[in-house]
Amino acid sequence: MVRVTGASFDSRPRRTAKSLMRDPRYDILFEPVRIGPVTARNRFYQVPHCCGMGYRYPSSSAAMRGVKAEGGWAVVCTEEAEIHPSAEVAPFVENRIWDAQDLPHLKALTEAVHAHGSLAGIELVHNGQHAANHYSREVPLGPSHRVIDNGAPLQARAMDGTDIANLRRWHRKAALRAKEAGFDIVYVYAGHDMSLLQHFLSRRHNDRADEYGGSLENRVRLIREILIDTKEAVGDRCAVAFRFAVDELLGADGITAEGEGHDVVALLAELPDLWDVNVSTWMNDSQTARFAEEGYQERYIKFVKSLTTKPVVGVGRYTSPDAMVRVVKQGIMDMIGAARPSIADPFLPRKIEEGRIDDIRECIGCNICVTGDDVSSPIRCTQNPTMGEEWRRGWHPETIPAAKQRERVLIVGGGPAGLEAARACGQRGLEVVLAEAGETWGGRALTESRLPGLSSWGRVKDWRLGQLHKLANVEMFLASALTADDILSYGIPHVALATGATWRRDGIGLTRHRPLAGVAGAAVFTPDDFLGDAGGLDRLPAGPIVVYDDEGYVMGGVLAELIAKRGHDVTLVTPAALVSAWTARALDQPFIHRRLVECGVTLQLNCLLAGYASDRLDLACVYSGAPSQRDCAALVLVTARLPNEQVCLDLMARKAEWIDAGIRSVTAIGDCRAPATIAAAVFAGHRYARDFGETLDPDVVPFKREAIVAE
């Protein structure tokens, strides 16, 4: 093994009490902000965000929000809370405040937030024509007769005067319940095209002829009434926030920051106690780093403060304290709103306050967090493996109990799984040796970060390396491709194999279960040929290139983009009905499709790869089997991966030698165990460290479950 540095790890500068001081440049971020009748202790504001836990996993939800408060967010909000059974979006798991039955778990949430001196906010919502009401079977409601926009053959019916009176009463009662539950900030919500109030505001959704339709003053009437209702109901003790999408990015078809977005702010300027402004839809609001840079919403929201004296909150995936100071000083916003940066690092404010800028675990803008909500499961995060696990596994993002014994651990592989396992084992006080075959750290977190638009993915590596370099009990070795012989010779008792995975070259993937004939010896490439220094781009022949994506996540689309940008004629073929289909769950699928079109990539959807012979592909329609052919100078197979498990298998085969070699456990983690996302690899590395030294019974559920109480 080659040492990373000749210096003793103990000789590195350690943090001193003096260095744990806030940089005065950031003082402005810690000024209190008055919001109506309440005061936030600083400018860090966790805006409402989904977490896939809500009403179904309330203890998990409360604990997660409590950790954000502990981490220094002065305001911590819930996700949207449906005010009535006619507002529900099952199967998505949001929050509910339908009646008193919801209060105990909401009280638990506010108490968890208050315990750390933060304010708790709740985003009341009626989802209007976005609510299919699959669970309640109520008739959906909207300003006009419209098809539900939530993938169901249902329609919302145009609300009459009684419906409007009902809505106002439901909202008012929900606000009173929110106050009873202890919330300090109660939202009125007109954003993301998911809110009935935004539907009323919208010219394309609202074709009413009464006092709620037509002119902007009429279309804004319901919002005004509900803001007034809410202030009258709870304004003595609670601030009333208005969440408003100032621009729908639809040009003349929608609200724009220069047009009606501006005018709505002017009309309602002083009515709410706080403006929480963003762009619509959620897809535009939470753009991935591939398509939007930090601060990407500033250009839309910057006008708001010129029209109101009330505090303004905005978002833009801010992780840099300098950028935060800038937006406050430039008068763009008063409070730094964050969903994703607070997920990736619940302790971001505390770290700035304590002068620990290097310790901030920056969001990479991948939207894996969004995918949890989209599959109605608890939130997960690529950077923060403890996200969603605060209650059920008792994981804290900053601390891990010290290991019971200071044992030695060898971690093989320096990708996301290995780096996180080494970091977390090091944090527990274990003596860690981390060995990486390559000349650089990071594994796929490094190589994939070099693909177009994915540079922020390198933060997975950067943060972990930064932390590892502070740990005297972790030794790190590059250029150390270990074999079973090597590992047996070291006598390190615990071995974690985080050796990653290799893309398949045989065509087996999601839809193909047998090897594809004709690939041996043909011009077949896999993603591994384009990652790191593999040089595949330089080896591509002239002529049409086909990228066959039978995986459906990021890789197929991003490789097609990469190759097309090199000037090749590229066709992306996929059995799926969408390009990079799974990215729809991360909100960026439409952006990927558009990017490929802009790059000149030809798209062939719903198409199976049936055969490959001498520069010609045989394809078949997924549904009819109808054959077609396509010229192909080179085929790039993006299908599936196989674990790099040879070292693991070799060690398992030599189990009889373990005792003499001093080995007690060998564990495969991350892609070496089962290829998955980077988020899954980080989680696996973290879990290895957490489980270290524990006696685990595979028959026992490894986490607490929320109680389901029968009536």
- Interface contacts to ligand ADP, rule CB under 6 A: 412-418, 435-438, 443-444, 480-482, 498-501, 644, 647, 670-672, 681
The correct pick among 255, 344, 432, 636 for binding ligand SF4 (CB under 6 A) is: 344
- Measured N-to-C along each axis, helices 58-70 and 103-114 cross at an angle, to the nearest 10 degrees, of 20
> Could you say whether residue 670 binds ligand SF4 (CB under 6 A)?
no
The correct pick among 265, 312, 327, 381 for binding ligand SF4 (CB under 6 A) is: 381
Measured from the CB atom, the residue of 386 and 644 that comes closer to ligand SF4 is 386
CA distance 160 to 141: 10
The correct pick among 222, 366, 531, 546 for binding ligand SF4 (CB under 6 A) is: 366
Which amino acid, one-letter code, is at 689?
Answer: A
Alpha-carbon Rg for the chain, nearest whole angstrom, is 27
Interacting stretch for ligand SF4, rule CB under 6 A, among 38-46, 110-118, 379-387, 602-610? 379-387
> Could you say whether residue 223 binds ligand SF4 (CB under 6 A)?
no
List the single partner that 468 binds among ligand ADP, ligand SF4, none, CB under 5 to 8 Å by kind. none
The correct pick among 46, 383, 467, 526 for binding ligand SF4 (CB under 6 A) is: 383
Q: Could you tell me which of 353, 119, 145 has the C-alpha nearest to residue 239? A: 119
Q: Torsions phi, psi of 434, nearest 5? A: -115, 125
Which one of the listed residues 45, 50, 102, 612 is annotated catalytic?
50
Measured from the CB atom, the residue of 334 and 671 that comes closer to ligand ADP is 671
Place of tokens 């896999």: 526
DSSP state of 118: -
The correct pick among 36, 235, 321, 365 for binding ligand SF4 (CB under 6 A) is: 365
Q: Could you tell me which of 502, 446, 479 has the C-alpha nearest to residue 645? A: 502
Which one of the listed residues 285, 334, 549, 588 is annotated catalytic?
285
Least separation in angstroms between residue 670's CB and ligand ADP is 3
Which one of the listed residues 116, 126, 192, 199 is annotated catalytic?
192
Least separation in angstroms between residue 443's CB and ligand ADP is 2
Bridge partners, residue 80, by sequence: 123
SS (H, E, C) 606-645: CEEEEEEECCEEEEEECCCCCEEEEECCEEEEECCEEECC
Helix and strand numbers, DSSP H then E, in the chain: 23, 30
The correct pick among 186, 368, 546, 651 for binding ligand SF4 (CB under 6 A) is: 368
Measured from the CB atom, the residue of 319 and 480 that comes closer to ligand ADP is 480
**Would you call 285 a catalytic residue per the annotation?**
yes
Least separation in angstroms between residue 482's CB and ligand ADP is 4
Measured in whole angstroms, how far is the alpha carbon of residue 280 from the centre of its chain? Answer: 18
Q: Could you tell me which of 384, 409, 378 has the C-alpha nearest to residue 691? A: 409
**Would you call 50 a catalytic residue per the annotation?**
yes
Residues 384 and 403: beta-carbon distance below 8 Å: no
Measured from the CB atom, the residue of 273 and 671 that comes closer to ligand ADP is 671
Interacting stretch for ligand SF4, rule CB under 6 A, among 209-217, 376-384, 427-435, 478-486? 376-384
Measured from the CB atom, the residue of 498 and 636 that comes closer to ligand ADP is 498
CA distance 524 to 384: 36
Least separation in angstroms between residue 344's CB and ligand SF4 is 4
Measured from the CB atom, the residue of 343 and 608 that comes closer to ligand SF4 is 343
List the single partner that 417 binds among ligand ADP, ligand SF4, none, CB under 5 to 8 Å by kind. ligand ADP
User: Which residues neighbour 85 within 8 Å (Cβ) at sequence distance 6 or greater?
Assistant: 98, 133, 135, 136, 138
List the single partner that 465 binds among ligand ADP, ligand SF4, none, CB under 5 to 8 Å by kind. none
Which one of the listed residues 189, 300, 318, 612 is annotated catalytic?
189
Site size toward ligand SF4 (CB under 6 A) is 13
List the single partner that 471 binds among ligand SF4, ligand ADP, none, CB under 5 to 8 Å by kind. none
Name all contacts of 649-656 with Cβ < 8 Å and 24+ positions apart. 650/483, 650/484, 651/484, 651/487, 651/488, 651/495, 651/497, 654/484, 654/488
**Would you call 189 a catalytic residue per the annotation?**
yes
Place of tokens 């000083």: 329
Interacting stretch for ligand SF4, rule CB under 6 A, among 98-106, 157-165, 270-278, 378-386? 378-386
Least separation in angstroms between residue 527's CB and ligand ADP is 11
Name all contacts of 326-331 with Cβ < 8 Å and 24+ positions apart. 327/295, 327/298, 328/28, 328/29, 328/43, 329/28, 330/302, 331/305
List the single partner that 343 binds among ligand SF4, ligand ADP, none, CB under 5 to 8 Å by kind. ligand SF4
Distances 688 to 66, 311, 693, 700 between C-alpha atoms, Å: 25, 44, 10, 17
Residues 228 and 171: beta-carbon distance below 8 Å: no
Least separation in angstroms between residue 464's CB and ligand ADP is 10
Per-residue contact track with ligand SF4, 304 to 343, x per CB under 6 A? ------------------------------------x--x
Place of tokens 């409360």: 62
3-state secondary structure of 241: strand
**Would you call 84 a catalytic residue per the annotation?**
no
Q: Which parts of this chain interact with ligand SF4 (CB under 6 A)?
A: 340, 343-344, 363-369, 381-383
What residues are labeled active site?
A: 50, 189, 192, 285
